Each structure stands twice: as C-alpha cells, then as structure tokens.
Amino acid sequence: MEIFDFNIQTISGETLDLSSFKGKKMLLVNVASECGFTVQYAQLQELYEANKEQLVVIGLPCNDFGGQEPGTASEIQHFCKINYGVSFPITEKVGIIHNTHPLYKWLEEQATEQGITNEVNWNFCKYLIDETGKVTGFHPSSVTPLDDQILQWLVK
C-alpha cells in the first residue's frame, strides 16, 4: 500500500483522493483550533500559497490531544476560514491515539521503516511526503511550517 491509495473525507464531506497529489510534495499536519500552536495555521497557509505548484498542505483535525478540537465540521471550517483564510484541504476529524485513522497507521509504519522518529504526541506534528509518496521526514509541533528544515526540504 502507498499513500496514493488513500481517500479521506474533507471537512465538507467530499472525498479527497490522495492520488490526485502524485508529483507534489505533501505536508500532513494534525491540527486543532484551541491549541497554543494553532497560530501555525497562518504559516501553513503562507507556505501553501507560496508553493502550491509543488506542495499540498493537508490539515487533519484531531481531538485526541487535550480535547483541543471539540468543534463540529462546520465550526472547524468556519474557524479556519475566518481566522486564517485557510484554502488548503482540511479533512474530517481523525483519530491518532483513539480509533487511529488508517492513514496515520500507515504514516507511522512508513516513517519507522525509514528510520524516522515520528511520535505524534501533540497537535501540529508534521509528516513530510515526497513527490513519489515516500515519507521523508517528521517534525514535532515545535518546528514551525516556515522553519528552515521544511523550507530546505521543499527545494530538494
């Protein structure tokens, strides 16, 4: 199985087929509206806007860490649009600790196989996927979307 085999529902209930992103890098981020790291939405949007020809950012809301994403789909969508002008894809809420979504199981397994330390232990952890669908990196919440590590990955 590869990342391009996954489909996930968007926050608005449409199917997001990850195979449509073949040839682009992907940054998958578990997001939450009531977290101290929520301000990273602004940088995620900036990164996406500046690089959307080669990159897709995908926000995956999750309420598993501190209950910091308690909202409904429409509340989350409204929050992201009004506060941060988010135009990158946001998915349905996913489980990471509880009822782990198959995509997160796959990400964890692939990163581990690549020797990448990847403990998702809070909101705004970032998986980096290259154009071929390979997991090439993981960054914890403390690494911002515009950090040099992520910007350098984009130009590789």
Sign of the dihedral defined by the CA atoms of residues 92, 75, 40, 96, in that order: negative
Q: What is the pLDDT of residue 67?
A: 97
pTM comes to 0.97
Cβ(12)–Cβ(53) below 8 Å: no
Mean pLDDT (10-residue bins), the chain, 156 residues: 97 97 98 97 98 97 97 96 97 96 97 95 98 97 97 94
Please identify which of the residues 35, 62, 80, 125 carries the catalytic annotation: 35
Q: How far apart are CA 141 and CA 122, in angstroms?
A: 7
Domains of the chain in sequence order: 3-154 (3.40.30.10)
35 is catalytic: yes
Q: What is the pLDDT of residue 156?
A: 85
